[in-house]
Amino acid sequence: MSSDMQVFLLPDLGEGLTEAELVNWLVAVGDEIKVDQPIAEVETAKSMVEVPSPYAGTVAELHGQAGETLDVGKPLISIARVGAAPVAPEAPAAVEDAVTTGVPASPEVSAAAETYRTEEKAGSGNVLIGYGTPGGATTGRTRPRKSSVAVVDSVVQEAPAAPLEPGLAGTRIPGKLSAVISPLVRKMARDHGVSLDTIEGSGASGLIMRKDVEAAISTPDAPAAPPAPALERVAPAAEGEMDSRTGLAVSARTPVRGVRKAVSANMTKSRSEIPEATVWVDVDATALVEMRAELKRRSPHDTPGLMAFIARFVTAGLKKYSALNTRFETVADGSQEIVGFDGINLGFAAQTDRGLVVPSVRNAHQLSARELDAEIRRLTAVARDGKATPAELGSGTFTLNNYGVFGVDGSAAIINYPEVAMLGVGRIIDKPWVVDGELAVRKVTELTLAFDHRVCDGETAAGFLRYVADCMENPGGALADM
């Protein structure tokens, strides 16, 4: 390896992750980049993150393609140092399928490339984070690229092709061989739900330009196509494939990766290692519902949600029953320890298009119900956008799960490993309830606590559950004491 070449290895993006899926390159071979400039979007088992470059220079080689899973510690990108001699390109070969038509570049395509670069250089005045405008470098690609399953809809016979000019790194739209778009334009279309398949490019050879996407966004009846969730990357089954056990035709095969892969591994580890037990109780939440309704009447715009109040009760309960805010560990010599924490990071289950994730509110025990509400809303938003950091997704010490939003009363929850307990909250509905010897209709919910029997016995678990239930039934008195 030349001393003028710097190779950046895929770093551990948090919590000892061993691999990440390359979603999108934000730079192309020949681009001039700066230190800390985002170079790629990768999806770990926990979140979608942008990877910044620790080096400045000229991009010489990209070690991977969109849709490919890369191991931590393996080369991600090679960067020639500033001032180094340009790397000589290899013999002409097929350009990556993400931007090639499989035939030599025509004068029209070359013109399209120039039009693209001119428009991108002009910019909009607001460069999107991670999608800076190209710098107009002139170095060619240094090696052929393999086909990318994520963007190629059919197998094409490769033919010698002139390397596409730098700055045209984009994506190939099925059915539109010359419709090449930039990462900036792709992101603009994705953020506004615009289907690129429905846009006729105004550039040379049908190139889709920024102005084409802007026109589609501004058109009221523009066809919209929300981005497909990561969990729905379904590959069609082989034609005529039959399942030997059921005798039915196989309709599709869905790779288990990303968040779904992490959830699968985590749940399997939880069930195989944790001897869990479950306790539950019905709770009269009428007073809590009425208290929040009164607060909302007085201050309509900043009243905490019910879950924020329950979260406040949970953190207070964990201070009293700290055994549930621990971690069970086996150390190097084979001995076992229960690790306690000076503080509470309260995780909460959030359903996203990428699957179930558990962001956590750091130092939740120090926050009021209003502050908890604001942080829960913020974390829910970044988790659903796939932008939660590894620290936000991997630092919880106890999980609160509101499965009542799905219309169910209870659940035999699986503990979020390596935590030792999880509290579930069912839907709040009208039920007959005895109050002062009289039958009445009350707002009732069910609390369910799954706990690791290695760290405490049923008395501790029941004490915590009863404490939270009592707070919900008498919220005013409970909050006065907190």
- Report whether 60 contacts 67 (CB < 8 A): no
- Nearest partner of 311 among 217, 385, 374, 230, judged by Cα: 374
Per-residue H/E/C for 160-213: CCCCCCCCCCCEEECCEEEEEECHHHHHHHHHCCECHHHCCCCCHHHCCCHHHH
Helix crossing, 306-320 with 286-298: angle to 10°? 120
Options 63, 192, 365, 453, the catalytic residue:
453
- Report whether 54 contacts 35 (CB < 8 A): yes
* Residue type present at position 252: A
How many Å apart are CA 94 and CA 100, to the nearest integer? 8
Which residue reads 């404490």 in tokens? 467
Per-residue b or e along 335-358, where b marks 16 or more CB atoms closer than 10 Å to that residue's CB: eeeeeeeeebbbbbbbebebbbbb
How many Å apart are CA 357 and CA 184, to the nearest integer? 28
- Report whether 447 contacts 465 (CB < 8 A): yes
Question: No. of H helices and E strands in the chain?
Answer: 10, 23
Pair of tokens at residue 93: 């070969």
Q: Is 453 a catalytic residue?
A: yes
- Nearest partner of 120 among 169, 178, 53, 61, judged by Cα: 169
* Residue type present at position 139: T
Which residue reads 């802007």 in tokens? 214
Helix crossing, 210-218 with 107-122: angle to 10°? 70
Per-residue b or e along 219-235, where b marks 16 or more CB atoms closer than 10 Å to that residue's CB: eeebeeeeeeebbebee
Cβ contacts of 3-6, under 8 Å, gap ≥ 24? 4/80, 4/81, 4/84, 4/85, 5/60, 5/78, 5/79, 5/80, 5/81, 5/84, 6/55, 6/57, 6/78, 6/79, 6/80, 6/81
DSSP 3-state of 446: strand
DSSP 3-state of 113: helix
- Report whether 399 contacts 419 (CB < 8 A): yes
Per-residue b or e along 180-204, where b marks 16 or more CB atoms closer than 10 Å to that residue's CB: bbbbbbbbbbeeeebebeebebebb
- Residues marked as catalytic: 453
